[in-house]
Amino acid sequence: MTVAIDLGGKVAVITGGSRGLGREMAQAYAAAGAHVVVASRKQDACDAAAAEITESTGVKAVGVAAHVGDWDGCSQLVDATIDAFGKIDVLINNAGIAPAYDSIESVTEALFDKTFDVNLKGPFRLASVAAPRMEEGGAIINVSSIASVRPKESDLVYAAAKAGLNTITKALAQAYGPRLRVNTIMAGPFLTEISEAWYTDAWRERARSFPLGRAGRPDEISGTALYFGSDLSTFTTGTVLAVDGGRTAMS
């Protein structure tokens, strides 16, 4: 049996929506009929992505420049969405950063704070200002990382922030249920624009031991994102779901 997901009339906000996994999710939501707000830091990138989505799907999409690490900027993003569409049904907290550093000892306070601002403080703040204005039956979807449960020395700060995101997902599900659902996609390795930094011959050889033996295509995030945002998930909340080709199934 094939189940078609119809999000016609819904409004979805996707942070980090101008490229990578966010762009794929924005495209998927529009293809399912939802109006989308593409949010990222640069207005021109947001506008370009929104125009492409509208052209390819016929659904209205708008771009809104927003820095989710800015406390007041989160409120402005919610206001802009309400102004454009009158409501919010789905919020996808996808924006994230993972600044590189040479060693744990070299981590600066600025790098630490910036990483937590975007990956943890932003989703918390955006959820807290969006939730009271969201439609009943709506969904908040956080995008975490398998680094949160498989941290390395080289991504410790990022991993800690994403672990915090997993935690607030469970608490927000309690705080906003039963009116809203809150879930997390714990993403594994995907071949987005930033994958050039790690997608080497050595990585591909090591990936042969993973259950699915490869990295994910960006579009392979879409099914889970649509599930969490649709009526197919009406009895699912507080869940942290790994979408990682089985990487976290390994010891």
Full pLDDT tens readout for the chain, 251 residues: 455 799 999 999 999 999 999 999 999 999 999 999 999 999 999 999 999 999 999 999 999 999 999 999 999 999 999 999 999 999 999 999 999 999 999 999 999 999 999 999 999 999 999 999 999 999 999 999 999 999 999 999 999 999 999 999 999 999 999 999 999 999 999 988 877 777 888 888 988 899 999 999 999 999 999 999 999 999 999 999 999 999 999 86
Q: Could you give the number of structural domains in the chain?
A: 1
pLDDT at position 139 is 98
pLDDT at position 3 is 57
pLDDT at position 250 is 86
Cis peptide before 178 (omega within 30 of 0): yes
Residue 249, in any domain of the structure:
no
Q: Provide Rg for the chain, Cα atoms.
A: 17
Give the pair of three-digit tokens for residue 134: 């969201």
Q: Annotated catalytic residue: which of 18, 40, 144, 145?
A: 145
Residue 3, in any domain of the structure:
no
CATH number at residue 154: 3.40.50.720
Q: Annotated catalytic residue: which of 29, 101, 158, 227?
A: 158
Residue 227 catalytic?
no
Give the pair of three-digit tokens for residue 14: 């996707």
Residue 114 catalytic?
no
DSSP 45-69: HHHHHHHHHHHHH---EEEEE--TT
Residue 10 catalytic?
no
Q: Is residue 151 within a helix (H) or strand (E), and if so which, with residue range?
A: none
28 to each of 32, 65, 70, 108, 223, how far by Cα in Å? 6, 21, 27, 38, 8
Q: Which domain holds residue 134?
A: 11-243
CB 204 within 8 A of CB 228: no
Residue 112, in any domain of the structure:
yes
pLDDT at position 1 is 41
Residue 49, in any domain of the structure:
yes
Residue 1, in any domain of the structure:
no
Q: If DSSP codes are grouped into helix, strand and coil, which group holds residue 185?
A: strand
CA dist 172 and 186 (Å) reads 16
Q: Annotated catalytic residue: which of 18, 101, 162, 222?
A: 162
The H helix count followed by the E strand count for the chain is: 8, 7
Residue 174, in any domain of the structure:
yes
CB 169 within 8 A of CB 240: yes
> Which pTM was predicted?
0.96
